[in-house]
Amino acid sequence: MWEQSLSGLIKALRSSKDDEKRVIQQALSEIAQEVKSTDLDLKAAAILKLCYLDMLGYPQLSSYSFNVVECMSSNKFYIKQIGYLAASQSFGPNTEVSMLTTNLVKKSKLFFFP
């Protein structure tokens, strides 16, 4: 429907103000399929859409915390950036995967600032 991109989702939401819930439910079901993909670019796009929906008041991002960690561990900077954005937006003190992120932050710091 929105070509698996954030801008497509935003356009779909703006064009259907009367039926926003249906568009969001459809987006969430597509995001659930995209996150299962092995393609990290597709997974990062799905996480980015979840960040946007979380800002709109649909808090679904916390249930995809392991996928956020996968994005954080990518070697591609823009995917890593999406992962860190999602982590800062959704991780709290009681997030189960927060122990995994400690070493990722250290490695990223060494990778970008040798």
pLDDT for the residue 99: 82
pLDDT for the residue 7: 92
Two tokens, residue 58: 């649909």
**Contacts for 71 with CB less than 8 Å, ≥ 6 apart:** 40, 43, 44, 47, 79, 80, 82, 83, 86
- Is there a domain that residue 44 lies in? yes
**What 3-state class would DSSP assign to 59?**
coil
Name which of 113, 30, 37 is nearest 70 in CA terms: 37
pLDDT for the residue 1: 45
pTM to 2 decimal places: 0.86
How many domains is the chain built from?
1
Q: Residues 31, 35, 37, 38: what is their CA dihedral angle, to the nearest 10 degrees?
A: 150
pLDDT for the residue 31: 95
pLDDT for the residue 78: 93
Q: pLDDT digit of tens for each residue in the chain (114 aa)?
A: 445 699 999 999 999 888 999 999 999 999 999 999 999 999 999 999 999 999 999 988 889 999 999 999 998 989 999 999 999 999 988 888 888 888 888 777 655 555
pLDDT for the residue 110: 57
pLDDT for the residue 34: 94
- Is there a domain that residue 1 lies in? no
- Is there a domain that residue 67 lies in? yes
H-type alpha helices, the chain: 6-15, 20-35, 40-55, 65-72, 77-90, 98-112
- Is there a domain that residue 21 lies in? yes
- Is there a domain that residue 93 lies in? yes
Which domain, by its residues, includes 60?
6-112
